[in-house]
Structure formats: structure tokens, C-alpha cells
Amino acid sequence: MSASSSPYSPSITDGFIAVVKQDCPTCEFVAPVLADMAKSDRPLVVYTQDDPSFPAGLDPIDDTDLGFSWHNDIETVPTLLQLEGGVETDRTVGWDVEQWRQLTGIPDLGDGLPPFRPGCGSLSVDPSVAPDLEIRFGDSVLTSPRIELATLEDEMEVAFDRGWTDGLPVVPPTEKRVMAMLAGTTRAPDDVVAVIPPELNEVTVEQVAVNAVLAGCRPEYLPVVLAAVEATCNDDFNMHGLLATTYFSGPILIVNGPIAQRIGMNARGNVLGQGNRANSTIGRALQLVVRNLGGGRPNGADGRPGVDMALMGSPSKVGLCFPEREEDSPFAPLATDRGFAPATNTVTAVAGHGPSAIVDQLSRTPESLIGSLAAVLRSEGHPKLAMGFGATLVVGPEHGRIFREAGWDRARVHAEIEQRLLLDTDPILRGVDGIDEGLPPALAGNQVPKFRPGGFLIVHAGGDAGLFSAVLGGWVGGPTGSIPVTTEITDIPQ
């Protein structure tokens, strides 16, 4: 701190500065000590954060706007600063008689008082006011345009009228809320996260943070949202194609690693449904980024033309995000099987929709259960279609227990299901059984896989009670489709 560095610097260049507040027992405790210091030959200036008359008789300077405290990094009161030549050379916080005596050079300072009293939190770091102080006094890092609303305008209705929403109410992205959101990542606000289709706009951390606020995210969710944006804007995922297709699918996010538990995600009951803030808002934030920053609006949903051409849509168009239930899974975490080190925080983006139910309450062997799972998976999209679509199988814990007790890992389950989904083409050709849909006649006499290579994933999630699993149907693969992408979640504040 320099005595000439800002309007909130003190007028003295040599001496002591004490920062106190009346609503602090330790500050009241040291008031007589400050009175004794004022009698010495070195200048003393006292700043008070709450009561301009406290301490009495010391002509305190009013710091109730907390400008001095904010500019000088006061985290605890009382704080005693020493200035020499206009520069802070030392400070002590709380009351420690030996430190105060050493700093002031007054050997009998505080005689008769207890040797130690802890201080109180400075008002300038109170979570309820600190973001406002950052906005008022800091060099604002935000570059997004500010939108002034008329007195009678309703914030929610403005968001609807301007097309910022997905049809649900949003949280107004005030400067205070966006600044708080940015504290959820160590990345700089102006870092470019990705190029968002379909308009291919470069988007920054700040812009993603604005949409995370709109979606209702907490700051600690932001690193997951950023990783989700990176994953879905990867060329392999093909977000533009996913928007342009008339099919049902949207991006589904599967989270692995300790961060899921750290931010309170739900991997158990109602895992694919509502009720958990992190699950619901992270997926929604991604969709708002695509909508508001990439121009990926649904065609006709609000009476306006758009790029998202889905005829039916699905919950993944609003936002579908869940963590894998790792702690009692029969499988290694999905991210580990996809090449990441154990306990790595990741997001896997899959193009899909759903869910569709799988009910098998009688199977007690993995062979029988595999048969049930394969039978339902075979009908995904259409029982007579194969090779194009993908799917994600969500194995419920009661079904997972059967695999775990049998020692079947993900690779074994995957291989057994794929073997049962190697389909003879003759029964599923066009026209067979009086159904025009099916494979072309040229494929007669062959065997084909139900799902495209790399397009069938298996994860473990859900509640404890019920012998159920689920299928999240997927979009097509290959050069015109989507390939699942796993991205590490980074830049998490400690």
C-alpha cells in the first residue's frame, strides 16, 4: 500500500493506521490501546467501518463505504498498519500484545491486558458485500454489454422477449452474479473457450459465465460447464450437425471424478430427472450457450425460424447431465475406460435422447440379464434398423449388482451385448413381415451390428431400489454424425 496510490490512501506518509469496527469485541478491547498510541510522537489514523464515532476521542475517518478497507486488503479487524515514506512496511491483525509492541516500539503498550484476542472479519470481505465492492472499486474485467431496464420493466419478461431463454424462466445475469460466477474458475474472463456452431462465434469464459447465471448454476459448476462447451464444440461431436438434424437427440453430459460429489451432483434416485440443481442447471447452461452465443435456436418453437430442426425434440434439448455412480459400480469409471487416469474429473458428451425403460426383475445371472438388455436395445430407433444409430445404456445399481457379483466388467458386458446385437439381415430387410421399413435388399445374407462402432456406451447410475436400467437412444455416427467426446475438467479453484 502506498499513501498516494488511490483516493482511498491515507493522508499520512509515516506512522500508523488502524482499521476497526464498533461491532467487534476485539476492536472495543483495543480502543484504549489506540488512545495510548495517539499520545505518542508518531501519527495515528483510525478508519472505522461501521460507526463513524468509534472509537470516541480519536477523530476516526469514516470508512463505512469500505473503500479504504477494500483498496488496502483488510481482511480482519482490528488491523494495524505501519507506514514509512508513504509505503506500508508491516501490519498485524487482531490483538497480540507482543506484535503490537514490536510494531509500535512502545514497550509497555497494553500493560494489564490479556496477551491475545482474535480479531473479527472485515466488513469488506463479507460475502454479502464483497462482490459489490469488487464492482464499485475494482477494475471491471467484464466486457459484456450492460442492458439498462426501465423502472417498470420485468426482468423475467425482458429475457423472454429478447429470446434469451429456453422457454423457462432464467436468473437475471447482473454484474454481481456474473462476477461471483467467474470466481468458480481460475481461467481469465477473456479466455476463448470454443468456437460455437452454427454461427461459429468465438465465446469467452465470461460469456459462458453469463449463460451459467441464466441457467441457475452455482459458481462451482462453472468448470464443468466450460468443459462441456469444449467437448460439444469438438469437431468429432459435431454440434452443428446435431442441431440441423430432424432427429430427437441433443447433447447428454456424463460427469466422472471427485468433482461430481464436491459440487453436489446426484448419481442416485431420479438421476435422469429433476430435483438436483447441479444436474439440471449444468446441462441447461450448455444449451443456453449454444442458443444465445452460437445461434442454435429451435425452429418455430417461439414463432421464429431457427437452426435446430428437431421434429420432436427430447429432454436433452433442455439439458441432460448426470454423474456416473462410481462408488459401487461394477465398472471402472467411464472416463478411465476412455483413457483418462483414475480420479480425473471429466465430462463425456454424447448425442442422445430418452430415456427408455428396461425392466427385468427376475434375472439373477449376468447371462440372463444380458439377454434382456440386448432385447430392448435391439428395438432402439426401430427393430429393423441397424448400423447407423448409437445408444447409451444406463445400468441401474440393482442390475449392476448382478454384474459386480459375477465379476463382469464393462468390457465383458459390452462384448456380450454386442455379440447378441450382431443381427442377421434377412429378417430385418425392407418388406419383411409386411413392414416397409428395414435394411436395403442388397444386405441380404449378412450379419450387421445394431450400433455403429464406438457409438454404444455403458454407464452405471440410478437409485437403489428397483431392477431397472435405461436406454438413452443416440443419433447417427460416422462422418455426418456424432462421436462421443470426453474432456477433462480443469481450472478448478482450490
What CATH number should be reported for the domain holding residue 109?
3.40.30.10
- Based on the domain organization, do 288 and 341 belong to the same domain? yes
User: Residue 466 domain-assigned?
Assistant: yes
User: Residue 337 domain-assigned?
Assistant: yes
- What is the phi/psi pair of residue 159, to 5°? -60, -40
User: Residue 140 domain-assigned?
Assistant: no
Confidence check: pLDDT of 132 > 90: no
Closest CA to 474 of 250, 233, 255: 250
- Based on the domain organization, do 198 and 96 belong to the same domain? no
To which H or E segment does residue 159 belong? helix 155-161
Residue owning grid cell 489506540: 34
Residue type, position 346, single letter = T
pLDDT of 300 reads 76
pLDDT of 299 reads 86
The CA distance from 200 to 131, in Å, is 33
- Based on the domain organization, do 242 and 303 belong to the same domain? yes
Computed over every residue of the chain, the mean pLDDT equals 94
pLDDT of 229 reads 98
pLDDT of 477 reads 82
Contact 331, 458 (CB under 8 A): yes
Domain count, the chain: 2
3 pLDDT tier (thresholds 50, 70, 90):
very low
- What is the phi/psi pair of residue 23, to 5°? -85, 55
In eight-state DSSP terms, residue 238 is -
Q: What is the arithmetic mean of pLDDT over 183-204?
A: 96
Confidence check: pLDDT of 81 > 90: yes
Confidence check: pLDDT of 1 > 80: no
The CA distance from 35 to 38, in Å, is 5
Confidence check: pLDDT of 2 > 70: no
Residue owning grid cell 438388455: 373
Q: Write out pLDDT tens, residues 241-295.
A: 999 999 999 999 999 999 999 999 999 999 999 999 999 999 999 999 999 999 9
Q: Write out pLDDT tens, residues 359-380.
A: 999 999 999 999 999 999 999 9
List % helix, strand, coil for the chain (3-state, nearest 5): 30, 20, 50
How many degrees, rounded to 5, is the angle at CA 266 between CA 264 and CA 272?
145
User: Residue 435 domain-assigned?
Assistant: yes
- Full DSSP string of 402-426: HHHHHT--HHHHHHHHHHHTEEESG
Q: What is the arithmetic mean of pLDDT over 162-172?
A: 93
Closest CA to 13 of 66, 83, 68, 116: 83
Q: Write out pLDDT tens, residues 428-473.
A: 999 999 999 999 999 999 999 999 989 999 999 999 989 999 999 9
- Based on the domain organization, do 470 and 411 belong to the same domain? yes
Contact 439, 385 (CB under 8 A): yes
Closest CA to 475 of 322, 309, 304, 360: 309
User: Residue 150 domain-assigned?
Assistant: no
- Based on the domain organization, do 363 and 454 belong to the same domain? yes
- Based on the domain organization, do 287 and 336 belong to the same domain? yes
- Based on the domain organization, do 289 and 331 belong to the same domain? yes
pLDDT of 246 reads 94
User: Residue 147 domain-assigned?
Assistant: no
Domain-ending residue, one of 73, 105, 124: 124
The CA distance from 365 to 434, in Å, is 36
pLDDT of 134 reads 85
The CA distance from 452 to 446, in Å, is 16
The alpha helices in 238-316, defined as continuous H runs, are 239-244, 259-262, 277-294
Contact 226, 263 (CB under 8 A): no
- Based on the domain organization, do 80 and 221 belong to the same domain? no
In eight-state DSSP terms, residue 174 is -
Domain-ending residue, one of 124, 146, 165: 124
- Based on the domain organization, do 116 and 169 belong to the same domain? no
- Based on the domain organization, do 163 and 266 belong to the same domain? yes
- Based on the domain organization, do 108 and 164 belong to the same domain? no
- In which domain, by residue range, is 287 found? 155-488
Q: What is the arithmetic mean of pLDDT over 194-212?
A: 96
Closest CA to 472 of 357, 342, 368: 357
User: Residue 137 domain-assigned?
Assistant: no
5 pLDDT tier (thresholds 50, 70, 90):
low
User: Residue 4 domain-assigned?
Assistant: no
- Based on the domain organization, do 316 and 440 belong to the same domain? yes
pLDDT of 366 reads 98
Closest CA to 209 of 183, 232, 234: 183
Q: Pairing mode, if any, of strands 468-476 and 389-395?
A: antiparallel
- Lowest mean pLDDT: which of 55-69, 92-106, 123-137? 123-137
